[in-house]
Amino acid sequence: MSKLLEGKVGLILNIANDRSIAWHIADNCIKHGATCAFGYLPMGDPTKSERRVRRSIDEFGLGDYFLHACDVGSDESIDAFFKAVAEKFGKIDFLVHSLAFANRDYLAIGKFTETPRDVYKQACDISAYSLIALTRAAVPHFRDGGSVIAMTYLGSDKVVPGYNVMGVAKAALESTARYLAYELGEKKIRVNTISAGPVRTLSAMAVGGIDDMFTHVEKKSPLKRNIDGDEVGKTAVYLLSDLASGVTGENLFVDCGFNTVGL
């Protein structure tokens, strides 16, 4: 199989564990010849966060690899991350934004009207504004144009009970990606989003009614099943590679066709 990302260097934020979508994206990018550098959110105990991420990355068998903390809620932390990236790699070719955060106490059915202002702001800051901040910081380091992808979900466009404020944040993320795609197109930088169906990730397990979502998708989607994280990873390789050289500002669904069904 030809390696679609041979010789390319990319940044992947943020692997939480070996079930996360970011892990599957990294796995497929590495298989296609990319050199991947990793950022992680230093939440809670930063040492514990780093240890958990390292355990997951070690499964790739890379030997020496680049891993650096990046608190996407802090411009100073983002600047430090990209300074370290530049010192290590010089130039990069792609950026993967696979991160989001919302207070799980409000990701439950019947909780949306109770969302406090600070919870709303934090969800939009970490989950959506971070795409602007990271892309802005990445632009000077792209080799010759580049590709940026971010992860989203159907709850951005349709009401998914229990998804709540995260749905609002994902709607902002998708719109952000389109505006970035428009502005950065003249620099040969493409920006797209992938809307993945439900996957059993750490973040998904925080959503109220997630088991019902899996059952419903399996019953109603055209392919009569849920997706696997690896399928998202393969789609990411397409968008990050030259195969998608004419694709930007798009939201690509990987959900077994569930988004097309109206019942």
Reported as a single tens digit per residue, the pLDDT across 104-119 is 999 988 899 999 999 9
Task: Convert the pLDDT of each residue in 16-59 to its tens digit.
Answer: 887 899 999 999 999 999 999 999 988 778 788 899 899 999 99
Q: Is the pLDDT of residue 92 over 70?
A: yes
Which member of 40, 106, 129, 153 is catalytic?
Answer: 153
**CB-count burial class (<10 Å; 0-12, 13-18, 19+) for 84:** middle
Q: Determine what percent of the chain is predicted with pLDDT higher than 90.
A: 83
Q: Respond yes or no: is residue 153 known to be catalytic.
A: yes
Query: Residue 214's pLDDT is what?
Result: 84
pLDDT at residue 96 above 90? Answer: yes
Exactly one of 106, 163, 182, 238 is catalytic; which is it? 163
Tokens (6 digits) for 53: 């991420």
- Give the per-residue pLDDT at 18: 77
DSSP-H helix ranges across 9-101: 21-31, 46-57, 75-89
pLDDT band at 229 (very low <50, low <70, confident <90, very high): very high
The CATH code belonging to domain 9-260 is 3.40.50.720
Place of tokens 């901040």: 133
Contact 134, 95 (CB under 8 A): yes
pLDDT in tens, 181-221: 999 999 999 999 999 998 876 555 555 567 788 889 999 99
> Within a 13 Å sphere around the CA of 58, how many CA atoms are in the beta-carbon half?
6
Dist. CA 161–CA 165, nearest whole Å:
11
Check if 163 is active-site: yes
Name the more confident of 214 and 102: 102
Check pLDDT > 90 for residue 132: yes
Q: Where are the domains of the chain?
A: 9-260
Three-state DSSP class for residue 163: coil
Q: Measure the CA angle with vertex 95, ends 162 and 257; round to 5°.
A: 45
Span 256-262, average pLDDT:
95
Residue bearing the bigger pLDDT, 68 or 203: 68
